[in-house]
Every structure is written in structure tokens, then in C-alpha cells.
Chain A
Amino acid sequence: MSTGTGTGTALAVRGLTVRYRETVALEDVTLDVGAGQACGLVGMNGSGKSTLFRTVVGLVRAQAGSVEVLGGSVAQARARGAVGYVPQQDDLDRDFPVSVRDVVLMGRYHRMGPTRRARPDDDRAVAEALARVGLEGLAGRQIGRLSGGQRQRVLLARALAQEARLLLLDEPFTGLDVMSQAAVTEVLREIVDAGGSVLVSTHDLSVLPDLCSRSVLLHHRVLAAGPTADVLTPANLARTFGLDPATGRVPTRGGGSR
């Protein structure tokens, strides 16, 4: 099933189909993220974006299709810590008794010894990651005592400390203050410039042209894919967000959750 991918491909998804009981979450989804490329994944809530991420990292089993990460299997990529997954900050228990530094250090666990004791290398990587997202002064703060945007930056810092080569970000811009949004965008751009690859899901179209050279519109299947400017047409967006193409209005607001 797997087609050969060139050396320049960080993520190759081919014909991916995922069903939960009778519900089809993804159907025959094919997409590529090239090395050193940022790709936007656009779709409304419940369109299968999160399922796609969860399948790529091996949390959900696909009924059909294949996923290739950095030229190998998902399991191989995970074992090397080559894939970074940045969840929405809302997914975390903000009362959990850990500090910012503790969380970022978790990005290094797979390279540490069995007790996960931090070595000077790890401390350096954590400090550097925190500086890059502009949180160097908050390392000792418990994660519940941050704003939502700061928490999102902590999770991004964890992926930086991990030194992942492919980064998957699930709605990282949702509910961010302007400063945090700028910081996240800037860091993602730096990652891409340094040869890293990014797949970022969003329903905030304003960040796409600046950040992502390519975009994929998803509503259980791929509706459109290509250079961002070509993809973001009114007709495509209307189909993606379930708008009536004739009126541009929302017919019914489906309350599907992720």
C-alpha cells in the first residue's frame, strides 16, 4: 500500500481511512508534508483533524491506508523521538502539580536514563527552549498559574526541547493572546527555516498565508490541497466549513466535538 517517498518528505499519508464504529472520521486521506515545510490543516471541529494527528502518532488504528514518517514507520519515528505532538493547552490538567520546567523537561525523557534524571545537556536544552518561546522567567511557575497562551508556549517549548524533526500542532492558536500568537508563529517559522517540518491544524485562516506554504482543507476527506494561496478560495472554504456556497451562510451549526 505504501508508495515510495522521496528523501524530501517528512510525512506521507496515503489513502488513510479511519472509522469509529459507524462514524467515518477519515476517508481515503492522502497528503504530504515536505522536509523544511509548514503545512496548514484546515477544517472545522469534528472534521477529522485530531483523528488524523492521532493516527499519525499511532494512537488510533487505521482501517486502510498507510502513514510514513521521515522515510520509516511511525513506530520507528516514535522510538527516536522524531515526532513531536503539541496538544491544545486545554487538554492538560492545569491543576497538575508540575512546574513549567518540569513539563518542558518531559520532552527530553526519551533520551534520558531509566530514572529520567536531567543532565546538564537537558537543563541547557530546557533553558534554551524556554528562551525561544519567551518564558525564561517563568520556569519555576506551576502550570496552572499561567495564561492559556503561556501554557500553549510551554507545550511548544517541550517540543523544541525534544528536538523533533516533524512537529504536529493541534489548534495551537485557539484562544491565544496576540503576544502568544506572534511568539508561536515566529518559533514555527524558525523551525521550518532550520529544516524542520510542521503540520499545524487551525480554523484561524489569518495565520496561514504567513506561516504555511501549503494547506490542506479537510472535511473527513481532503477537499483541496496545494499552495495556500490557491487553496484558500471562497468556494473551497465554504465547503470546508459546511457553509452554503450560494449564500455563504451557515446552514446548521453541527455541534460535533473533536
Chain B
Amino acid sequence: MSTVSTVSALSAEALGALPGLVGLVDVVTAPGGPGTADASAWWQVLVEPWQYGFMRRALLVTVVASVVSALLSCWLVLIGWSLMGDAVSHAVLPGVVLAYLVGAPFAVGAVVFGVGAVALIGAVRDTTRLKEDTAIGVVFTTVFAVGVVLVSTTPSQVDLTHILFGNVLGVSDADIVQVLVLAAATGITLVVLRRDITLYAFDRVHAHVVGLPVRRTGALLLGLLAVTVVVALQAVGVVLAVAMVITPGATAFLLTDRIGRMLVVAPVLAAVAAVVGTWGSYALDVGSAGLVVVCQGLLFAAAYVVSRVRTRAVA
């Protein structure tokens, strides 16, 4: 009994340092047995964020964006398109700003600029002696900078911080509808065409030789990347969207050597990171975008440790 109360006192003291958990401290120190108080207090902390509509909406957007990004990330990691994900996620900025200015759905602007940047990267790579990473680096930073300039010339209508780092707590109903529609369309396309996309990632020559539409699959994949980035940046912003389309796939790849299992493991882990990160952002009173991506990174670190231990066990 004494150990229990010591532990709860210690934890209360530790947690008291965190402003968001003040409620817990109150409950723990309230009358009643320490054991039951602990349990109900933790329950309270777990469910409290979801009593607010804005938190539930944030969770919905973050989980949906995480799951669809995670699906796509499996193939990006296998093809070696991580840098392309980085490029597309940054290149959509001017499109988003312009869409805001003319009042269009910002997915439209984002897709136009995302796909345009990819085409431009391809053109620079194919018509110069530059290597692909250089072409990507030159094009996406320039397009991103155009976006930064655009933002600076538009008075107060566009909040750059919200675009760059996400504003998931402030998503409108229209934004949510847009996210759900785009995510559903992308997710269904990816799942239906998963075997063709895997073949594209694995052996394009064979796909070509047996008469499958290789160029169309590649173009579709890049288009889906642009759309996915649009969905992801609603949840975590332009800067961190790239993590959503790389990290879950990388994590899953460390844990399994079957693409079919990767396509389950990656979305599940991404959803876990989304829930924990969103919850933690309330409990710790920090930004959710950063915390969701940190959670993805922690899961990657855990997967790394697991894969190292396994490799050593085999060797």
C-alpha cells in the first residue's frame, strides 16, 4: 500500500510539471483509494481529449492522412522515391497559396504544382548531365521559394505557419470532406492496383515486355503522391508531410520481407502514431504535427532495434 502511494505521489509530482496533466494531479490527490483513483484518473486522461469536437476532428484527419500516406510510403521506399516525396511535398506550396487566393479547393492547386514539379524534375534530369538528386534539389527548392515569395506578397489571407506546420485543430468541415474524399480515392486506387504497382517497383522491364502500361503506372503513382501529400499536409503541414510518406514504409520494411505484410504493418503503425501523437499533443499541450511525426520516428527506432536483434540472432 505504501509503495503504491509513493509511486502515485512521485508520478503526481512528475506529471505536475506538465501543464496539460494538471487534471490528473487533482484526481490522484482526491479522496478515495489510491488504486482506484489511479485507474480512473488515467482513464480520464486518456478519454479527456476526445470529449472535444476539435480534437475528434483532428484525430480523424490525422489518422486518415497517416493511413493513406503509409500505404503509399511502402512503394516509395522500395522504388527509391523518398526524395521525390520530399520534392512533391514542398513543391505544392505555391499551388496551395494560389488556390487560397482565388478561392479554389487547395487540393487542385497542390496537385497541379506537385505534378508540374515532377515533370520539371524529369525534364531537367533527362536533358542535362545532372543526376536525379540534383535535379530534384534544384527544382523543388525553387518552386518552394516561389511559394514563400507568394505568401509574403499576400496580406494576412494566408497564414504561412499553418501551411508549413499544419493546423489540424482548425480544419474546416470543407477541409475534412476534401481529406476524406481524396484519401478514400487514393487508398482504393492503391489497394486495387497494388500488384501492378509492386511489379512497377520491382521489374519495369518485365512489365513492359508483357505489355503492361508501365509509363501510365509511373505517372499514376506520382499523381497519387501529389494527392497524398495534399492530404498529409492537412494533418502535419508541408514541412512534415514528407515524413508521412517515407517513415511508415521504412519501418514496415525493417519488420517484414513481404510487401503484402508491409501494406498492413505500415498503415497500422502510422495509425498508432497518429492516435498517440494527437492524444499527446493535448496532454502535453504541444503541437500535434511534430508529435505525430516524432511518434513515427520512435516506432522506426523500435523497429530498427528489433531488426538488429533479429539479424544478430540469425548470424
Judge if A85 is at the interface, Cβ distance under 8 Å. Answer: yes
Interface-facing stretch out of A24-32, A40-48, A76-84, A228-236? A76-84
A84 — which chain B residues lie within 8 A by C-beta?
Answer: 209
Chain B at the A interface: SS class: helix
Size class of the contact patch on chain A: 20 to 34
Kindly state whether residue A205 has any CB partner on chain B within 8 Å. no
Contact status A115-B210, CB under 8 Å: no
A3-11, A106-114, A208-216 - interface stretch: A106-114
Residue A92 is within 8 A (CB to CB) of chain B in the complex: yes
B308 near A: Cβ within 8 Å? Answer: no
**B202-A96 in contact (CB<8A):** yes
A27 to B259, CA, bound (A): 43
Contact string, B184-213, partner A, CB cutoff 8 A, digits 1/0?
Answer: 000000001101101101110111111110
- Taking CB atoms and an 8 Å cut-off, the chain B residues in 135-164 that contact chain A are none
A83 to chain B, nearest CB (A): 6
Cα A79 to Cα B206 with chains together (Å):
12
Nearest-CB residue, chain A, relative to B191:
A115
Stretch of B250-258, B284-292, B299-307 that contacts chain A: B250-258
Contact pick for B210, options A102, A103, A109, A114, CB 8 Å: A109
Residues of B within 8 A of A158 (CB): 206
- The reply to whether A78 and B208 form a contact with Cβ atoms under 8 Å apart is yes
Contact: A87 with B199, CB < 8 Å? no
Q: Is A198 an interface residue (CB 8 A)?
A: no
CB contacts under 8 Å to A, within B254-282, are 256-259, 261-262
Q: For residue B210, which residue of chain A has the nearest CB?
A: A110
Q: Is the CB of A85 within 8 A of B211?
A: no
In the complex, chain A residues whose CB is within 8 Å of the CB of B192: 114-115
- A97 contacts which of B207, B210, B256 (Cβ < 8 Å)? B256
Chain B, Cβ-Cβ closest to A114: B192
Q: How far is the CA of A78 from the CA of B209 in the complex (A)?
A: 6
B12: interface (CB < 8 Å): no
Whether A96 and B201, one on each chain, are in contact in the complex, defined by CB atoms closer than 8 angstroms, is: yes
Interface check B78, CB cutoff 8 A: yes
In the assembled complex, the CB of B147 is this many whole angstroms from the nearest CB of chain A, namely: 35
Contact of A59 (CB < 8 Å), options: B193, B205, B257, B258: B205
* A96–B200 alpha-carbon span in the complex (Å): 12
* Cross-chain contact B258 with A109 (CB below 8 angstroms): no
Please state if B203 and A106 are interface contacts (CB–CB under 8 Å): yes
Quick one: closest A residue to B253, CB to CB? A97
Which A residues from 94 to 142 make CB contacts under 8 A with B?
95-99, 102-103, 106-107, 109-110, 114-117, 142
B contact residues around A226 at 8 Å (CB) = none
**Which of B207-258 touch A at CB < 8 Å?**
207-212, 253, 256-258
Tell me, in angstroms, the Cα distance from A84 to B210 when the chains sit together: 7
Which chain B residue lies CB-closest to A93? Answer: B202
A117: chain B residues within 8 A (beta carbon)? 195
Additional A-B contacts beyond A93-B78, A97-B257, A110-B211 (20; CB < 8 A): A79-B211, A80-B211, A81-B211, A95-B257, A96-B201, A96-B202, A96-B259, A97-B256, A97-B262, A98-B258, A102-B259, A106-B199, A107-B206, A109-B199, A109-B212, A110-B210, A115-B193, A116-B199, A117-B195, A142-B258
Residues in B lying within 8 Å of A, measured CB to CB: 78, 192-193, 195-196, 198-199, 201-203, 205-212, 253, 256-259, 261-262
Ordered by A's residue number, 9 sampled pairs between the chains whose C-beta atoms are within 8 Å are: A78-B210, A81-B210, A87-B203, A93-B202, A96-B259, A97-B262, A106-B199, A106-B202, A110-B211
